Amino acid sequence: MNHVASRLLWGSTLTVMTLLAIFFSTSIPFRPFFALGLALITGVVLWEFYRLAISKGFDPLDKVGVITGMAYILSLFLLNQAPWLPLLIFTVSLAWSFLYMMIKGNDPLINLSVTYFGLIYGAIPLGFIVLIDQSQNDPRLWLLYAIAVAKLTDMGAFFGGLILGRHLLVPSISPKKTVEGAIAGVIIAIAASFAFGAILNLDPISCLVLGLAIGLLAQFGDATESLLKRDAGIKDSNAIPGLGGLLDMVDSLVFVLPLVYIYTQIMES
């Protein structure tokens, strides 16, 4: 029960902070702080990922990865003024990494692969927060929709499994995930999608399809991180009480944010 109470306390605190950040995200005076805050979160997520890789025995270029990921996030805020900047950042980063490996690196194939997989897994999905925030149709509401439905899926799966869980879902990856919890998470996602869909004026079919997709993808994202942690032999990516780490908190958004961004772009076109 202490774990549950701690999870609720920290989860509620971070939810309020996220809601405030989203509310002010389109405000010109607040925008630089929003950009820096998201870049710092990305940096911590990447740092946690590279700790997993190091515990597995790899030697990624963690500093290069963290700096590249943070620079990539900041470059997205300048996308309208400099659309070439994200590509330039990745090109310079990759060239520097190869140069370093030529001089004094070890196992370049595997360590470069791990370094840039971290960026694909951690930085690029979080970058969709910026891209959604720059869309034309109610960006703050769409951000709220994506994050809220994904996080409510997490909560539904957690408490559904806690109360109703009987059959293990993927015991080889996570010994606590249950079929009943997964079903509860999807049901909560669909219900949340209809609730937020009313605010966004979504039709019932869109609410149902998006809710179902987010409910499945949020849990799949959580399972992918569990797979990585299990392989690395680590329970939590960090030591935030009740929640683990930032990587543990954003894993459910890895596939959800691209989906929501694609949907907003289809709506705009």
Cα(197)–Cα(211) distance, integer angstroms: 9
Domain ranges in the chain are: 2-268
For residue 251, what is the DSSP state? G
Total-model pTM: 0.90
DSSP 228-241: HHHHHT-S-SS-BT
Q: Which of 61, 50, 43 is nearest to 99 (CA)?
A: 61
Exposed/middle/buried for 206, CB within 10 Å: 0-12, 13-18, 19+? middle
* Distances 32 to 75, 90, 132, 225 between C-alpha atoms, Å: 12, 22, 17, 30
Tens-digit pLDDT profile for residues 46-78: 999 999 999 999 999 999 999 999 999 999 999
Backbone angles phi, psi at 84, to 5 degrees: -85, -10
**Residue scoring higher pLDDT (162 or 4):** 162
Residue with tokens 């109360």: 163
Average pLDDT of the chain, as a whole number: 89
| Residues 113-118, mean pLDDT to the nearest whole number | 97
Q: What is the pLDDT of residue 23?
A: 79
Residue 123: is its pLDDT beyond 70?
Answer: yes
**Residue scoring higher pLDDT (78 or 29):** 78
Q: What is the pLDDT of residue 239?
A: 58
